[in-house]
Amino acid sequence: MGLFTFLLLSLLGLACYTSAEISPQIGVCYGQLGNNLPPPPKSVELIKNLKANRVKIYDANPEILKALKGTDLQVSVMVPNEIITNISSNQTLADQWVLANVVPFYPETMIRYLLVGNEILSQPDTTTWFNLVPAMRRIKYSVKKYKLHKIKVGTPLAMDVLESSFPPSNGTFRSDVSVKVVKPLLQFLNRTKSFFFLDVYTFFPWSSDPINIKLDYALLMAKNITYTDPVSGLTYTNLLDQMLDSVVFAMKRLGYPNIRLFIAETGWPNGGDIDQIGCNIYNAATYNRNVVKKLMSKPPVGTPARPGTVLPAFLFALYNENQKPGPGTERHFGLLYPNEKNVYEIDLSAKTPESEYKPLPIPTNNEPYKGKIWCVVAKGANRTELASALSYACGQGNGTCDPIQPGGKCYKPIKSLVRHASLAFSSYWAQFRNVGGTCYFNGLAIQTAKDPSYGSCKFPSVTL
């Protein structure tokens, strides 16, 4: 072999090595907060059908890890929030957890990421914040001890870990965690060549300010909107790049300019409540397809601050999950319905040309809803639970349930639990919405634009 060939081969080898370390692949978050989801083996089949190359779970469910054995899906497993504090001060406990939850499945199940906790720095319990990095160090030690060499240890954080994200060059970590948590975290990630795992959604900043942020910019489909950061001089063509770079600049500010980003979650809701904007199938399909196209492009595009870099990612989520608390959007992030059907077509390997997709339903909620909304009992609500929700709503006082008391305008028909509960829900929500009251009641309630009033019984409404 001549010297030239040798050099060429070494160069190629080097190139292969670097790109093999992390290839542009897209995974899916397999959340399980639903009581109607397909079982793990079926779910694994569906994940493969989406052409995902990775899957992230929010625990270490042995049924799922078993179902993933022998597949070529790379897997991310999570250490639950609740045990972080104990693990942080007890190496035996860390060893036991890894031994019980990871070792039995490795390497046949291709576990590659061990995420310690979920959005810990967004949780109200501040004790866990300060135990996070010590727990990660112990988990890392166990990973080494059991020779799980391919596993990186990290922790996914949400955008609220920043106190400033605009302009991107002004990205700064929150002062309550910057020195005591984030700096040691970055030192750990840098030393172990791991990633900064970030949950990043353009939907949230856009939906809270749809006037100043253009929808197309948030959906990565703006043709002629750009933003130039006045300090860095970098020009942005979409909101996702801006958000990612704000984290890059925040890390740089703390002295760590080179830690790789890993998108631990991104996505867009395909539905939600009437009082929520822009949550629909059209936008969800558009956002997720554009993210796949961007992240799978070859050569990689990266972001303005890190052009040409690979950004590995997990899309959130595999299924619409009916038991997630919070506003309706939370239960509508799925690529699939629980009945296994696609919410819209998507190919995470980016091999299907856009022209092959069927047309999407025209969005009807891209402008804020204007009109009245009522809060009524959802279909199929459990009567036992409904009765206790009714007394909860009435117990909030302020005359919430006066109309359904004997002699009230909505007292009759007296045996109708559903009508009484609907009245109580509407009344509760109308009075307490502006102080944080929601129309949810553990899934028993749903918003409607159709006036449920009957006879002389008038339901209170929220007017937007």
Ligand X SMILES: *[C@@H]1O[C@H](CO)[C@@H](O)[C@H](O)[C@H]1NC(C)=O
Chain residue at closest Cβ approach to ligand X:
164
What 3-state class would DSSP assign to 116? strand
Interface with ligand X includes 160 (CB under 6 A)?
no
CB of 330 to ligand X, least distance (A): 21
C-alpha distances (whole Å) from 175 to each of 124, 154, 155, 164, 250 are: 16, 21, 19, 10, 12
CB of 171 to ligand X, least distance (A): 8
CB of 180 to ligand X, least distance (A): 17
Q: Extract the tokens encoding 153.
A: 């240890």
Are 303 and 241 in contact by the 8 Å Cβ rule? The answer is yes
Is 21 labeled as catalytic in the residue annotation? no
Interface with ligand X includes 323 (CB under 6 A)?
no
Interface with ligand X includes 457 (CB under 6 A)?
no
| Interface characters, 175-194, with ligand X (x: CB under 6 A) | ---------------x----
Are 373 and 275 in contact by the 8 Å Cβ rule? The answer is yes
CB of 223 to ligand X, least distance (A): 4
Interface with ligand X includes 22 (CB under 6 A)?
no
Contact with ligand X (CB under 6 A) among 90, 290, 322, 323:
90
Given the structure tokens 């997720």, which residue do they identify?
288
Are 422 and 451 in contact by the 8 Å Cβ rule? The answer is no
Contact with ligand X (CB under 6 A) among 82, 125, 160, 354:
82
Strand 54-57 versus strand 26-30 pairing type:
parallel
| Interface characters, 381-400, with ligand X (x: CB under 6 A) | -x-xx------------x--
Interface with ligand X includes 141 (CB under 6 A)?
no
Q: Extract the tokens encoding 164.
A: 């400033």
CB of 400 to ligand X, least distance (A): 8
Interface with ligand X includes 59 (CB under 6 A)?
no
Could you give the CA distance from residue 411 to residue 417 in angstroms, rounded to a whole number?
A: 11
Distance, C-alpha 397 to centroid of its chain: 36
Q: Which one of 45, 108, 265, 330 is the catalytic residue? A: 265
Q: Which is nearer to ligand X, 92 or 391 (CB)?
A: 92
Q: Which one of 119, 163, 330, 345 is the catalytic residue? A: 119
Q: Which is nearer to ligand X, 51 or 458 (CB)?
A: 458
C-alpha distances (whole Å) from 173 to each of 150, 177, 184, 246, 283 are: 30, 7, 13, 10, 30
| From 5-13, 106-114, 350-358, 378-386, span contacting ligand X (CB under 6 A) | 378-386
Interface with ligand X includes 435 (CB under 6 A)?
yes
Q: Which is nearer to ligand X, 10 or 258 (CB)?
A: 258
Interface with ligand X includes 223 (CB under 6 A)?
yes
203 closest CA partner among 170, 246, 162, 159: 159
83 closest CA partner among 98, 72, 68, 105: 98
Is 340 labeled as catalytic in the residue annotation? no
Are 200 and 159 in contact by the 8 Å Cβ rule? The answer is yes
Distance from the first to the final alpha carbon of the chain = 76
Interface with ligand X (CB under 6 A), residue total: 24
Interface with ligand X includes 211 (CB under 6 A)?
no
Interface with ligand X includes 93 (CB under 6 A)?
yes
Strand segments, DSSP code E, in 275-371 are 302-303, 306-307, 313-316
Interface with ligand X includes 432 (CB under 6 A)?
yes
CB of 350 to ligand X, least distance (A): 23
CB of 136 to ligand X, least distance (A): 16
Interface with ligand X includes 438 (CB under 6 A)?
no
CB of 80 to ligand X, least distance (A): 8
Q: Which is nearer to ligand X, 61 or 164 (CB)?
A: 164
Interface with ligand X includes 379 (CB under 6 A)?
no
Within 10 A of 275 (CB to CB), how many other CB atoms are there?
17
Q: Is 146 exposed, middle or buried (0-12, 13-18, 19+ CB in 10 A)?
A: middle
Interface with ligand X includes 224 (CB under 6 A)?
yes
Given the structure tokens 């022209």, which residue do they identify?
355
Secondary structure (DSSP) of 249-293: HHHHHTT-TTPEEEEEEE---S---TTSSS-SHHHHHHHHHHHHH
Interface with ligand X includes 402 (CB under 6 A)?
no
Active site residues per annotation: 119, 265
**Site of interaction with ligand X (CB under 6 A):** 82-83, 86, 90, 92-93, 96, 163-164, 166, 170, 172, 190, 223-224, 255-256, 382, 384-385, 398, 431-432, 435
